[in-house]
Amino acid sequence: MACRIFFLCSFLTGLFGCGGAKEDSSLPKVGYVLHVQDETLEEAKRGFYDALSDAGYEDGKTVKLIYQNANGEISTLNNILDYFLAQKVALIATNPTVATIAAIGKTKTIPVCMMVSPRPDLAKLETTNGTVPPNLFGVYETLAYIDTSVALIKQVFPNAVRVGTIYNTSEPNSVNSMERLKSTCAKLGLQLETVGVNTSNETQQAAQALVGKKIDVFFALPDNIIFSSFETIQKALSDKNVPIVTSEIGLVKRGALLAYGADLYEWGRQAGVAAARALKGEKNLAPEEVKIRKRVYNALTLRAMNLTIPSGFDDIATRDLMKK
């Protein structure tokens, strides 16, 4: 009985803050929403928090950070945003695209700091007259990086003919990326095989279908479904010795062979710097393009596949050690 009472008290303390020091209600509140739980996307969150801390915004001391995860559920995402509004947050940070779109749909006045998202026009975030919502700022990516990433396939695998990819048919960013990939592959003389999915439960079968089409290389698109089920996809492909090239550095850490693209930690840091400026009262902030892109590879995957990488790439493990 005593144990049950202790558990209930602990739960209520965590939920309502009872029994602890009273929170300073004068602190500005920042709501951070992550649409889906994923270690790659978490890198951007870590960078965002670090940038705020470096700018003097320490959680519980100079700012109140409210973190919420929607676990891929749109209804939960909307409830989280409603909660942020009820809490009268000074700023909403969104990661990735789906969360940004939902936040802009909820408020036209509270600043929304985007990250891990394409340029506003590509994400269908522009208003009817072609302008960016005045409360939207943060950091975006273009689709041009896909061209450079695909060019790596020709550089590293000169004999490759078929490239496979999986895309989310219900996510505009994923569809746009797939179309850009298709166009770039055609220009480089590569044949693209695609499989569309709607949930992460379909990715294993999709990967196996691509293996059945004798693909030489798999290209992992910047897609929430890919992020959340990457290990499943990787297992199906590695069993047949199919290398994974991507534009997402975080996926290289998780086992993809190589990537050219934005460093999500640095992406989050850049967004955090912009958010700190907003919290300090700067007005008329606008979305800006991500600044840091890198070429990285996974040395363990490289050895397992008995491959070599041209110069100009950093080992992802070495790169991460240098950050610490």
Look up the pTM and report it. Answer: 0.83
Give the chain's radius of gyration (CA, Å).
21
**Count of alpha carbons within 13 Å of 281, Cβ hemisphere only?**
0
| pLDDT confidence band for 63 (50 / 70 / 90) | very high
Instruction: Mark whether 31 and 135 lie in a shared domain.
Output: yes
Q: What is the mean pLDDT of residues 85-114?
A: 98
Instruction: Mark whether 41 and 137 lie in a shared domain.
Output: yes
Which range, of 19-33, 91-105, 217-231, 266-280, averages the lowest pLDDT?
Answer: 19-33
Instruction: Mark whether 160 and 231 lie in a shared domain.
Output: yes
121-127 own/partner pairs: CB under 8 Å, 24+ apart: 122/172, 122/173, 122/176, 123/97, 123/172, 123/173, 124/172, 125/100, 125/101
Instruction: Mark whether 128 and 228 lie in a shared domain.
Output: no
Full domain range(s) for residue 211: 144-262+294-323
Instruction: Mark whether 196 and 212 lie in a shared domain.
Output: yes
Q: Is residue 22 part of a domain?
A: no
Q: What is the mean pLDDT of residues 58-85?
A: 98
Instruction: Mark whether 193 and 315 lie in a shared domain.
Output: yes
Which range, of 18-32, 212-226, 243-257, 278-292, averages the lowest pLDDT?
Answer: 18-32
High-pLDDT (> 90) share of the chain, %: 76
Which range, of 27-31, 82-86, 148-152, averages the lowest pLDDT?
Answer: 148-152
Instruction: Mark whether 230 and 93 lie in a shared domain.
Output: no
High-pLDDT (> 70) share of the chain, %: 90
Position 16 pLDDT exceeds 90: no
Instruction: Mark whether 45 and 130 lie in a shared domain.
Output: yes
pLDDT at 27 (0 to 100): 97
Residues 181 and 144: their CA atoms lie apart, in Å, by 10
Q: Is residue 4 part of a domain?
A: no
Q: What is the mean pLDDT of residues 249-277?
A: 95
**CATH of residue 227:** 3.40.50.2300
Q: What is the mean pLDDT of residues 92-110?
A: 97
Position 71 pLDDT exceeds 90: yes
Position 29 pLDDT exceeds 90: yes
Q: What is the pLDDT of residues 46-60, one digit of tens each?
A: 999 999 999 999 999
